[in-house]
Amino acid sequence: MLFACSDTKGEVTKDKNNPMKVIGYVAGYEDFDPAQVDVTKLTHVNYAFANIVDGGVQFELETDAAKIASLMSLKKNNPELKILYSVGGWVWSNEFSHVAASETARKKFANSCVLLMKKHGFDGVDLDWEYPGQRGEDNAFRPSDKENFTLLLQTIREALTEQGEKDNVHYLLTIATGADQAYIDHTDLGKAQEYLDFINIMCYDFYHGWHYQTGHHANLYPSERERFGGNSAKEAVARHLKAGVPSNKLIMGIPFYGRQWEKVTPKNNGLYQSAMSTGVIVSYNDIVEKLKSGKYKKLYDESAKAAYLWNEEDSVFISWETSKEVEMKAKYIKDNGLGGAMFWEYSLDKEQELLNTLFKSLHN
């Protein structure tokens, strides 16, 4: 076991037999052909999303089967590639609490996960429950979610192991986690991680579609200019380590999109100001196009290691991710013995500018 220097608290390990993971989510609902995915730069693909229906999992879109088949065909370009399917997400997390609430429901759900995995030839299952024990988009939640989430993961792991013994394969089980303390408080990650291969921390949306205040949505470090609380990727990682997750099971999430606010109070170039809109998602592709207008001033918060844009003429503020931030996060991942990086979402970086930086930086 090799040890790395770290500025986070907790056990920091490096697994020399397990190379850096580069995990890309591919959203089936986007107008995007998965055949364009450059799998030579990825170790894992998470196809999103399957829905929970009648206690089991299923794909809801007519195009899902064809897109999944297209993804699977890319394994010829990278035989080591692992392709998982992701369940839930922001919109489809409403049933998680119910399927986790009893042993019977958990077993039904776990068996369904295995059947869907086998049907399409996936290498495992990723759960994106937003959020156990607390409000998400329109999800049911209950106090017992904390314990039930762990029991659900245990049940799925047991079902995957049973199938894996038949197939002589290790099937993967992963989750996407929230980055704030509330997520840690409503889960038992120290126990849950025992059933997981790794954990994808959503180190983004620190300021998002509920906020009428601008701010960095994916800063690496806390900002000295913070006014409203905020968060940072460093703090998110530290929380997971403190909760008992080994560092090499932690994957840092990186956004291939920004957040945009309109009618922003014109002070301090729009940073940490009130706005008349919430922070809507804007893809990296679209931000690059917006910059061509010449209206946006490129700015940087050195303390947070975060880029942002200010359009004074239209009072528009954008928090975004550039290659500079991706490179710094890759260095942070390596220096702190994390397992790699995850990003949302592949189609949002059409020219692969961020992906190329991430791949090169992690493997430099």
Q: Which of 25, 73, 33, 74 is nearest to 50 (CA)?
A: 25
Residue 45 β-bridge partners: 24, 83
Instruction: Report pLDDT digits (tens) over 281-333.
Output: 999 999 999 999 999 999 999 999 999 999 999 999 999 999 999 999 999 99
Q: Which of 154, 100, 146, 123 is nearest to 23 (CA)?
A: 123
Q: What is the pLDDT of residues 31-41, one digit of tens each?
A: 999 999 999 99
H or E, element range at 342: strand 340-344
Residue 6 scores a pLDDT above 60: no
Q: What is the pLDDT of residues 122-150, one digit of tens each?
A: 999 999 999 999 999 989 999 999 999 99
- Interaxial angle between packed helices 103-120 and 145-167, expressed in degrees from 0 to 180 and rounded to the nearest 10: 40
pTM: 0.94
Closest CA to 84 of 172, 197, 193: 172
Would you give the distance in Å from CA 229 to the centre of its chain? Answer: 21
Nearest CA to 89 out of 148, 138, 54 is that of 138
Q: List the catalytic residue out of 130, 235, 321, 325.
A: 130
The span from the CA of 4 to the CA of 235, in Å, is 18
Mean pLDDT of the chain: 95
Query: Could you give all domains of the chain from N- to C-terminal order, each with its CATH number?
Result: 21-256+322-363 (3.20.20.80)
pLDDT digits (tens, 9 = 90+) for 189-231: 999 999 999 999 999 999 999 999 999 999 999 999 999 999 9
Distant-in-sequence, close-in-space partners of 364: CB < 8 Å, separation ≥ 6: none
83: CB partners within 8 A, 6+ apart: 44, 45, 47, 71, 72, 75, 121, 122, 123
Q: Are 307 and 320 in contact (CB under 8 A)?
A: yes
Query: Are the CB atoms for 222 and 363 separated by under 8 Å?
Result: no
Could you confirm whether 312 is annotated as catalytic? no
